[in-house]
Structure 1
Amino acid sequence: MGIEAGIDWADAFDNMGHVPEAAALIAQGAEDAQAFREGAANASFDLAYGPGARQKLDLFLPVGRPKGLSVFLHGGYWHKLSKDHWSHMAAGALARGWAMAVPSYTLAPEARISDMTREMAQAVAFAAARVAGPLRIAGHSAGGQLALRMACKGGPLAPEVAARLVQVVSISGLHDLRPLRLSPLNEVLRLDEAEARAESPALCEPVEGVKVTLWVGGDERPEFLRQAGLMSEAWGGTPRRVIENGRHHFDVVEGLAAPASPLVEAFLG
């Protein structure tokens, strides 16, 4: 599973440059997230799952007893954004009776991706101690990589938490991090060869019994489509791969906010 030569890796990962409305969509998402928090009937904000300034999560609870716990891990190429941009992603889960935790994590260059993996395991364990039942994790972009790391054999979740994990959905995730070392992004991420391999779900083995869905927009950059196929092959073809036509990197995640969407069905159905 090598890295193809002759590719402009700066362009391959340049989602902002290929979606003219990207900045406006991110700004609108932050507004939608704030409005969602202000209207949340049963939520706890900025719960500290660790001592770090960004080691906080928001926990949204449905009406009645939750069916289980869902978790959304945000993207931003491991060095941008926070939970506060994505609160409204809990809407679909809440409407279907699931609790949702939305954590932040320490960003690069202060933290390495391996640090973020450990932080997300802490956040999931923290939320799981407060909400009983099965566990489902979704992540977008960088969050897709972090979500799938929770489903890797020998991964960071404590055994009692891992035993509850039934579903992981990577939405436009990156699953082989080695090409990032050839991108300008690595000036911030500081990936070396060992960490790039260790933190690549496609180079790990899956735990048994966890369903995996790889969800990607049809209008994504080719590298993200390639990585979805690569991940499916790496884990023996068992992950379900869905290409949502007409969607790009910044709007493909919007289905999580719609209770009847195919994405929510794949996540919670």
Structure 2
Amino acid sequence: MKPAMELDEAYANMQFIENGAEYPQRWAQAAAAFREGMMQSGQVELDLPYGEGARHRFDLYKPEGTPKGLLVFVHGGYWLFFDKSSWSHCAQGALEAGWAVAMPSYDLCPDVSIAEITHQIARMIPVAAEMIDGPIHLAGHSAGGHLVARMSVPGLLPDAVAARIKRVMPISPVSDLRPLLKTSMNEKFKMDEADARAESPVLQQPLSHIDVTVWVGAEERPAFLEQATALAEAWGCECVIDAGRHHFDVIDPLADRDGRILARLLG
């Protein structure tokens, strides 16, 4: 078994990406500018509640005209960092393609467990689904990739909502949580072996009607490539390894309505 320090490095991203520390500010600035434009056009409803907590809120972006369906994008950050406000710009491509986009925040560890975060997203999706007709597609990045993969498994969503989910894209997901038990992050996750197994999509199977594509950057850390390919192998689905992309810029093409990632996600 690798020691914690070695596994910490295996799952680290920022220090292995050129100018990695600049990305959070870059995301926040791009998101704020995009959100401001959507507010001026009246195409967004901010801070819609799906629960009682202060972070149980989502933003709903609406295209011009009747939406083709609903895309839910769940942010990452190792279940420890960020909220919906850093990712608004990722809705641009889907909006231009005619889809409504919902982006939730959720509570973070160590205030809650990863399992509770999973159940928060499962409570949020039906609320957004009541507001937008048509098919539901899910995408999530990193920890968000884990969360949308979990939504693909039977039993978490109401049957009527689950039946509307047509496509799911875990982007650079953490699909097997068991290695995280041996990282220093588990001081905040507070998982044991049973917790990690229960929250590992790689040990589960998706609903048969859902079309799943796993997406990962070719320049990501080996641990994330392993996590992505392991999920695709376990689920018998496609894994796209995106040339030239790393863990932080792999989601950039979500802003491009004509890009490969949206073509696969939205069809």
TM-score using structure 1 length: 0.96
Alpha-carbon offset, residue 17 of structure 1: 1.6
SS at match of 2:111: coil
- After superposition, what is the alpha-carbon deviation per residue over 1:207-254, rounded to whole angstroms, capped at 9, x for unaligned? 11101111000110001101111111111x2x1100011111000011
Alpha-carbon offset, residue 22 of structure 1: 1.8
Instruction: Letter of the 1:100 partner, please give it.
Output: V
Residue aligning to 2:247? 249
Residue aligning to 1:176? 176
Alpha-carbon offset, residue 25 of structure 1: 1.4
The structure that is helix-richer by fraction is 2
SS at match of 1:252: coil
Q: How does 1:1-269 map to 2 (within 5 A)?
A: 5-6=1-2, 8-40=6-38, 41=41, 42-154=43-155, 156-235=156-235, 237=236, 239-269=237-267
Counterparts of 1:96 and 1:20, CA distance in 2: 32
SS at match of 1:163: helix
Unaligned residue ranges in structure 1 (runs of 5+): none
Counterparts of 1:138 and 1:24, CA distance in 2: 24
Counterparts of 2:263 and 2:18, CA distance in 1: 30
Alpha-carbon offset, residue 153 of structure 1: 2.4
Instruction: Letter of the 2:179 partner, please give it.
Output: P
Counterparts of 1:48 and 1:153, CA distance in 2: 25
Counterparts of 2:19 and 2:153, CA distance in 1: 35
Counterparts of 1:23 and 1:51, CA distance in 2: 33
- After superposition, what is the alpha-carbon deviation per residue over 1:58-87, rounded to whole angstroms, capped at 9, x for unaligned? 000000000010000000000100100000
Instruction: Letter of the 2:137 partner, please give it.
Output: R
Instruction: Letter of the 2:9 partner, please give it.
Output: D
Checking the alignment, whether the CA contact within 8 Å between 1:153 and 1:204 is kept in structure 2 is no
Checking the alignment, whether the CA contact within 8 Å between 1:57 and 1:103 is kept in structure 2 is yes
Q: Quote the RMSD (CA, aligned, Å).
A: 0.9
Between the aligned residues of both structures, percent identity stands at 47
Instruction: Letter of the 2:54 partner, please give it.
Output: A
SS at match of 2:131: coil
TM-score using structure 2 length: 0.96
